[in-house]
Structure 1
Amino acid sequence: MIFSVIGFMDLLGTIAFAVSGALVGVKRDMDIFGVNILAVITACGGGMTRDIVIGKEPPVMFVNPIYVLIAVITANIVFLYLYTNRRLPGSKKALNALLFWCDTLGLAAFTVDGVFAGINIGMNRLFLCT
């Protein structure tokens, strides 16, 4: 993982989408395995699809499994926190707000990541009239 803007956006988007996937899994009363699978698919699935579409093989999630590990750790923390604190007042409203903000943050972070991925493969030549 590169410690730069792109590395920070990767990390931020992975954590945000892992929280988002874990929240949806907990809202649907999934067990810890289901929450982990949903969090990993949410956090890493879009990047894997992007890598396949742009022809980058193998996808980054298989080359550098730190993103999958971060998604699993985040999902387990969310799962354990929400199942130990189920009786919080107003928790449904707070969980919906947290889901909204995590989705927004993850989408923003991975948009920046996708732009950098496009620039790295030379997609900027398609849009520049030089």
Structure 2
Amino acid sequence: MLTELFTPSVQHALDLVGIFVFAISGALLAVRKNFDVFGIAVLAEVTALGGGLFRDVMIGAIPPAAFTDLGYFITPLFAAGLVFFLHPHVERIQVGVNVFDAAGLGLFCVTGTVKAYEYGLGLTSSAALGLATAVGGGVLRDVLANEVPSLLRWDRDLYAVPAIVGATTVVLCIRFDTLNAVTSGLAVIAAFVLRLLALRFHWRAPRAYNRSSARAEEGSAAT
């Protein structure tokens, strides 16, 4: 089914673009954390490939694509090298990085969902692995950097929700036999646009109903 949506060359090129941008975000966090060159490379690789590796292991696509295609492995290293030498300039174009990151999020939640379904998973499980493909690398990045994953923080703009929307759109299209290049592209765009809107207007997921203030939380923790 995946090969019917995009030609192999187009799919490969899109994958590499998404991997590159995710790797940039990982490498930038490593620089902010004052990691050495090895740490920068590790965070770049983990951020770029972590979600896809998790998906492939879960569905039994062994060995994972990250280890069978040299381009998948080399691209994050290239991004790490770029950030290592030019991180002040990369930081200055953070808005552009965010735009491409949103595009990668939309692409990976769609292709991850489709690949999981191709390997025999049900619709719900496929959507869950589509989400994991899109956000898994970022979670691993934050854990390695000793931070609460952005995915779980209420004070960060919506990230998982756009991926959920994209993955859900795909499984609905599969359910009603309407998945094709156009509808899959629309699913990518839906996730992409929702993420950009969240960045622009600082949309965030709601916390628990009648939640007390952060200051109250800190006070109760201290006691």
Asked if these proteins are the same fold (TM beyond 0.5), I'd say: yes
Q: Cα distance, 1:99 vs. partner?
A: 5.4
1:15-54 correspondence to structure 2 within 5 Å: 15-54=20-59
Equivalent position to 1:120, from 111, 118, 130 = 118
Number of positions where the alignment pairs a residue of Structure 1 with one of Structure 2: 121
Relative to the length of structure 1, the TM-score reads 0.76
Q: 1:21 to 1:28 in 2, by over 3 A?
A: same
2:14 maps to which residue?
9
User: Deviations 1:67-109 (Å, cap 9, x if unpaired)?
Assistant: 1111101110121112xxx4x7xx86x4654554343232122
Gap runs ≥5 in structure 2: 1-7, 125-173, 178-223
Gap runs ≥5 in structure 1: none
Q: Cα distance, 1:124 vs. partner?
A: 7.1
Matched, 1:106 2:104: yes
2:164 maps to which residue?
none
Relative to the length of structure 2, the TM-score reads 0.47
Instruction: Return the letter of the residue paired with 2:54.
Output: T
Instruction: Return the letter of the residue paired with 1:3.
Output: S
Contact 1:15 1:70 in 2 (8 A): yes
Q: Distance in 1 between matches of 2:114 and 2:123?
A: 13
Most deviating of 109-118 and 54-63: 109-118
Instruction: Return the letter of the residue paired with 1:118.
Output: A
Q: Distance in 1 between matches of 2:36 and 2:123?
A: 47
Rg larger for:
2
1:52-91 correspondence to structure 2 within 5 Å: 52-82=57-87, 86=88
- 1:3 is paired with a residue of what secondary structure? helix
Identical-residue share of aligned pairs (%):
31
Most deviating of 25-34 and 44-53: 25-34
